[in-house]
Structure 1
Amino acid sequence: MNKVNINIVKPSATDKGAFSRIFLSLEDDSSYRLEIDNTYFERLYNYTKEATSIAFEFYLFTVIIYNIDKLIPRKKLSLDGWTREIKFEFPVSNLSVWDSNKKKINEMLSFLTGDVWNVDFFEGDSDSFYTPLDLENKNNFIPEKICLFSGGLDSLVGSYKLLKTSKKTLLVSHFDVAMSGPNSDQRKIISQLETKFSISTDFDWVDNRIGAKRGSSKKLETTFRSRSILFIGMASYLAHNLTPNESFHIPENGTISLNIPLSPSRRSSCSTKTTHPHVLSLVNTIFNSLNILTSVKNPYEFHTKGEMLVPYNNDNFFKGLVELSNSCGKGGHKVWWYKFWHKKHSSLVIDTSDSHHCGKCMPCIYRRAAMHKVGWDYEKYYGDNIFDENQWSWKNTRSNKRMKDVKTLLSFLSLKKNQTKIKRELLINGTLPFYKLDDYSNVVVRTIKEIEDWLNSHSNDSNYQELKKRAKL
């Protein structure tokens, strides 16, 4: 059992603009420790002007969850190389309310991250976590809708739809302070949105940065399974105060939300469930019981990624925004992308200026298939092109993992699973309501069709026959 100690040092009344210093450490090995960096909380506070509500407590709870998830490395401190047992105690102002939700909270966290969570609550002082600045800096933008905005394609679609339908929208982003480099994808898109919509009138953007302060003594976990609950914590805190009794949006195509396992090894806890319908359902149950005045909604739970793009396939402004978005799951490994490696180590003249996606992870594959559906799939945006025989086989040894995701997908396609088998896989992978099962399985069926259409559209490319054979097209 990994028991986490939480030490909270609240700011003094004279320490203006300061958030509590929060230290995490493992009880049995204090060399695993970190300090949470939440110095940008003022950006959220300027909208709400409060830090005492139960919505604030839930936000603080998700900040701690996110950092505990980072504190404990899976390989070293789990029972099986993956599943960790995690225990900690969290101070709350209304113990009976939180205690009545303990079972649901532990269930939600365990399902979300693939671990075994055991959270206890105790009566604590919820005041004075934040000392406001003397200078009044209130943000007067009152949104009609709040939408999570990651800089990815799906969140872009959801945000753009709200703006196009004249909904005053607050876009909520998170950027981990421990990561190198700026949140450039988000900023580039926001900059372009300002050319069409009026910021502070049509929309506003809040970018909260939370993570571990540099200097923790151990290498941190990097799976980020809990990032979505931190996103939800931020948005619910704002929505509770700004749009009470209205849902906020977490736009994600149904296929990614369901994340059907492409192989038996990816089933159950090994499958990412950041926006899985069961997670969102549990969150809404918890909100209702805690009396947090909002709910989370995924407006695209029954859409494929391609179907999300179809309404805007003749919108050139939106197309330009799409090119600025980023869907890649391996964006930090450019040095090993075919184009970048060969540009540096060979005599080949290769233009990498537009290549911001790896082209071989599952998010990239779903993105390319979706872009093909509306005629926007251009190879230049990807560091590896799976349709090029040379790029496919480059360093393609048995120990090499470059095309692992693609090969797993092709193997899944070759099984030709019908809707009944897909339903079974979805149920194995997580709890789903039976009355929605046909709709969920249909999304997967349509996504498979999108991918197969995309693959077949490259029948003249040098690596098509290899892909066709593996997928049994």
Structure 2
Amino acid sequence: MRFVSGPRAALPVADEMSTPIVLFGRAASRDVASAGASAAATIRRRALLPDPAAWDLLAIALSVVVADGATKRAKSPDGWTREIRLDVALHDSKRWDLFADSLSSALAFLTTDRWQVAFRDGGVLPDAPKKPRRPDTDAIVLLSGGLDSLIGAIDLSAEGRRLFAVSQTVRGDADKQRRFAGIIGGGLEYISVNHNASTRRGLKETSQRSRSLIFLAFAVLAATATERYHDGDTIPLYVCENGFIAINPPLTYARIGSLSTRTAHPEFLARMQDILDGVGLRVMITNPYAEKTKGDMLRACLDQTLLGAEAAVSTSCGRFQRFNYTHCGRCLPCQIRRAAFVAWGREDLTKYVYTDLGRSDEDHAAFDDVRSVAMARLVVAEDGLDRWLGPTLGSPRITNKAALRAMLQRGVDELGRLHAKYGLA
């Protein structure tokens, strides 16, 4: 499927061969896709003035999110893998031309689809604020409302970092994102941005494996608007994710490709870093917890009192909205969360829809994700960790394989103790 994105005046008429995407503006009809008007308004309202290249990165990310959402996997030949062509109008397309293939490759790794990205002139920068301000912060942290990002912001603040927290507006998490930003370190510089992506009426693919790109793009915008960036410094961008879920090894042979997300995978983050470096964006992506399990993170958090008060408020569930903003208790992210609390040794006050994983029915012990964890543990126990991991750590970009292997073993052990608690050992 082919998409052409840019300002409304530079777009072709919609036809069967391509889908237009209006960037940083409103579409004239619900039958035309659009994204970014809300984000541009938020940045202008906060009087921020990002680097033009950061706006171009956001234009690319917005286009990707719309294309991802508008291309249904069920219509692809194998029911999953899609072929997506994307033509994006940028403010400075020549700056990005050399990295079109790199970006296509990064997206292919992220979503396991086939992407072909190209750039052209014709993009515009959103209106600048009349009186720009430059936040006096020295690092950006992604604040999703999740437990890992909560721990990351607590730790970085305790270490003396002056943080600019960036959230992507998500239904059900907005209040807790603001809450965390308000109480950590006496209150953080904070912005919540909505991509406001819409697709043609009736088109909506729910897998949305590309969403991490838009989150990174929002963070890069914020980083390039700071005083330190204006002065020529490189700004750290902290993506705080436990190493087990970042690597996200397929639990079974059936859970391959996009069934195992790669939001904070070191391979994807390294590819994005190469692109940022190549286009001259002085932002350094770092995951300080790449070698830690979620349990490790809870135990080592630098403010145990604050974490103890707020951990249960955070979100981890992959089906949070589906269950009326309540953790399901049985998906893989919920199991990892629950296992981390067991490792931490603190009572888990999170409300779960399905609590007793030991119940022998399809809602509990026989649920797909619970059985997949049990099968993974069995393979590790009988054949060893390396047999289970297979090529998971095979990327030449991964240079800390021994540390990651040890972390993955600890993660499997944490899940084992959770299952043992419910008689699933």
Same-fold call, TM cutoff 0.5? yes
Corresponding residue for 2:392? 426
Taking the TM superposition and a 5 Å limit, the aligned residue runs for 1:88-103 are 88-103=86-101
Corresponding residue for 2:41? 42
User: How many Å separate the matches in 2 of 1:409 and 1:44?
Assistant: 42
Kept after mapping to 2: 8 A contact 1:9/1:22? yes
The answer as to 2:402 corresponding to 1:403 is no
Corresponding residue for 1:393? 361
Which of 196, 204, 213 matches 1:229?
Answer: 213
Consecutive unaligned residues of structure 2, counting only runs of 5 or more, are 20-29
User: How many Å separate the matches in 1 of 2:41 and 2:202?
Assistant: 29
- What is the deviation of 1:420? 2.8
Kept after mapping to 2: 8 A contact 1:88/1:118? yes
The answer as to 2:331 corresponding to 1:361 is yes
Corresponding residue for 1:183? 174
Q: Percent identity?
A: 24
Corresponding residue SS for 2:390: helix
Corresponding residue for 2:343? 373
Corresponding residue for 1:454? 418
- What is the deviation of 1:99? 1.7
User: How many Å separate the matches in 2 of 1:189 and 1:446?
Assistant: 28
Corresponding residue for 1:148? 142
Corresponding residue for 2:166? 172
Kept after mapping to 2: 8 A contact 1:368/1:377? no
Taking the TM superposition and a 5 Å limit, the aligned residue runs for 1:123-162 are 123-124=121-122, 126-127=123-124, 129-132=125-128, 136=131, 138-162=132-156
The one-character-per-residue Cα deviations of 1:176-219 (angstroms, maximum 9, x if unpaired) are: 5xx5x5623323333443xxx333xxx21100011324x84113
Closer/same/farther in 2, CA of residues 357 and 91 from structure 1, 3 Å limit = same
Closer/same/farther in 2, CA of residues 334 and 23 from structure 1, 3 Å limit = farther
The one-character-per-residue Cα deviations of 1:364-414 (angstroms, maximum 9, x if unpaired) are: 00001111111224376211113453xx42668xxxx97110111101111
Kept after mapping to 2: 8 A contact 1:32/1:72? no
Give the TM-score of the pair, scaled to structure 2: 0.87
User: How many Å separate the matches in 1 of 2:49 and 2:16?
Assistant: 33
Which of 306, 318, 323 matches 1:329?
Answer: 318
Corresponding residue for 1:212? 197
Taking the TM superposition and a 5 Å limit, the aligned residue runs for 1:264-283 are 264-283=253-272
- What is the deviation of 1:154? 0.6
The answer as to 2:286 corresponding to 1:289 is no
Closer/same/farther in 2, CA of residues 359 and 53 from structure 1, 3 Å limit = same
Consecutive unaligned residues of structure 1, counting only runs of 5 or more, are 11-20, 336-354, 469-473
User: How many Å separate the matches in 2 of 1:51 and 1:152?
Assistant: 26
User: How many Å separate the matches in 1 of 2:17 and 2:212?
Assistant: 28
Q: Tell me the amino acid that sits aligned with residue 168 of structure 1.
A: R
**Corresponding residue pairs, total:** 408
Closer/same/farther in 2, CA of residues 25 and 374 from structure 1, 3 Å limit = farther
Taking the TM superposition and a 5 Å limit, the aligned residue runs for 1:235-274 are 235-242=219-226, 243=229, 244-274=233-263
Corresponding residue SS for 2:33: strand
Q: Which moved more, 1:31-40 or 1:303-312?
A: 31-40
- What is the deviation of 1:90? 1.3
Taking the TM superposition and a 5 Å limit, the aligned residue runs for 1:15-26 are none
The one-character-per-residue Cα deviations of 1:235-284 (angstroms, maximum 9, x if unpaired) are: 11221332441221000011111110011122234421111111011011
Kept after mapping to 1: 8 A contact 2:294/2:337? yes
The one-character-per-residue Cα deviations of 1:315-340 (angstroms, maximum 9, x if unpaired) are: 222211111101011112327xxxxx
Q: Which moved more, 1:444-453 or 1:314-323?
A: 314-323
Corresponding residue for 2:301? 312
User: How many Å separate the matches in 1 of 2:12 and 2:313?
Assistant: 37
Corresponding residue for 1:60? 59
Give the TM-score of the pair, scaled to structure 1: 0.79
